[in-house]
Structure 1
Amino acid sequence: MTLGVAGRYSVTPMSEDAMRALPLRERKKLRTRRALAEAALRMFTERGFDAVTLEELVDAVEVSKSTFFRTFPAKEAAAIEAEEELWTACLDAFGRLPEGRAIDALRDVLTEVVAGLGPEWGERYAATRRLVVTAPSLLAYAASHRHGVEQELTGLLRERLGLPDDDLRPQVLAQLTTAAWSVAARGWVFSGAPFGDLLDRVGRAFAAISGSLELSVRG
């Protein structure tokens, strides 16, 4: 369990062996979080985000509202747990970027993280993104979450690259990273293609960054 964006606790996929290595209290928290996120995605997908009340969600998992709010800051957060898993894992990995051209390192780390999350996570992520576009409040929440990711990544890049606060390049790199992911993932989510295609799309999206800068407008 790691501290995610905006100080929220987030959970990345964990094997049962790794789960058993955790203290009992942490295992219970993790299982409750998983149960709430799974129920939220299922119920919101079946009935619509706005049609499912928080009371119905916590009843389905047999926990209290206070337990829910100790786990998630809002109903929207439970709905986008797959996205939170992605960026929490990425931010942790981005803090240890390898040497080399920054944009290439960001691409490699993002690809490695996504590959490690695996096809099951990919199914949940695709379902999450299909859900997000059906509810304006979810779309706004996801956009705000992504902005928080960009801010954290900007700070990590400034520190890793040894650049001052007024240098705009870390911010540009952070936004290029999330934009490349958005382009790759959006096309994949609605394509029905296998999980491996997502990894290929990430590489192509990052390659398009350099390629787009070489384009010239002709009269």
Structure 2
Amino acid sequence: MIRMPTAPQPGTGLRERKKIRTRQAIRRAAYRLFEERGFEATRVDEIAAAADVSPSTVFRYFPTKEDIVLSDEEDPIVEAALRARPAGEPPLASLREALRQTIEQLYASPEAPEEIARRMRLIATVPSIRARLHESVADTSGMLTRVLAERTGRRPEDLEIRVFMGAVLGGLTEAMLHVAEHHAEVDVVDVLDRALTVLQNGLAD
């Protein structure tokens, strides 16, 4: 999935709001240091000091340095949007609309465009982040598999669900890499829409 800044949502509890603020502080400090020193040269203890937290706190929120760029914060938003889609709607249509709504919501934050641009530059240029991207996208598969299995009346372990999710996750990974490589020239929603259209129609014109 495309990782973007997440603002506290209405009704979010105090504890969760503190967690979100801590994650944001760590990420913003990391991005500053990545730009100043480079990703590989920046140590986690330096990020922790810049964010005014301990190194253990950084690792609690982000198990690896790459996860600071690729953390999966939008899954609950996608899940809620998927569950809100009409019963009987084709899975790809439901997923397309859920992703569109999620991206529009996350882009609404004033600081989102610059933070997204930073993330895309890192994904495009840092090999370890690109390698971790495949694992990060796969982390989303459990949620999507569970929800789409429920919506289609299948079991998550059914072959049809596994094949469908493998195709979807592969498509989302390639879409994200395309956005990273051409970020200044493309629209995120359009890229995802094109990726899902290929899954639906193949390579037909």
TM-score by length of 1: 0.75
Q: Determine which of 64, 79, 82 is the counterpart of 1:91.
A: 79
User: Aligned residue for 2:101?
Assistant: 112
For 2:99, give the aligned amino acid.
L
Gaps of 5+ in 2: none
Contact 2:141-2:169 within 8 A present in 1 as well: yes
**1:172–1:94 distance in 2 versus 1, CA, 3 Å:** farther
For 1:132, give the aligned amino acid.
I
Deviation at residue 162 of structure 1 after TM alignment: 1.4
Aligned pair 1:163/2:154, yes or no? yes
User: Aligned residue for 1:41?
Assistant: 31
User: Aligned residue for 1:27?
Assistant: 17
User: Aligned residue for 2:8?
Assistant: 14
Give the share of equivalent positions with the same residue, in percent. 31
Contact 1:151-1:171 within 8 A present in 2 as well: no
The structure whose RCO (Cα within 8 Å, separation 6+) is larger is: 2
**1:57–1:206 distance in 2 versus 1, CA, 3 Å:** same
Contact 2:85-2:94 within 8 A present in 1 as well: yes
Whole-Å separation in 2 of the counterparts to 1:135 and 1:88: 27
User: Aligned residue for 1:193?
Assistant: 185
For 1:107, give the aligned amino acid.
R
**1:103–1:27 distance in 2 versus 1, CA, 3 Å:** closer
TM-score by length of 2: 0.79
Aligned pair 1:61/2:51, yes or no? yes
Count of residues in correspondence between the two structures: 197
For 1:109, give the aligned amino acid.
A
Contact 1:90-1:110 within 8 A present in 2 as well: yes
Deviation at residue 161 of structure 1 after TM alignment: 1.4
Deviation at residue 107 of structure 1 after TM alignment: 0.7
Cα distance per residue 1:136-188 (max 9 Å; x no partner)? 33223221111121233223222221113552222233233334434444434
User: Aligned residue for 2:130?
Assistant: 139
Q: Determine which of 64, 85, 92 is the counterpart of 1:74.
A: 64
Gaps of 5+ in 1: 1-10
Contact 2:145-2:161 within 8 A present in 1 as well: yes
CA RMSD of aligned residues (A): 2.8
- Deviating 4+ runs (over 4 angstroms): none
Whole-Å separation in 1 of the counterparts to 2:59 and 2:158: 38
Contact 2:149-2:156 within 8 A present in 1 as well: yes
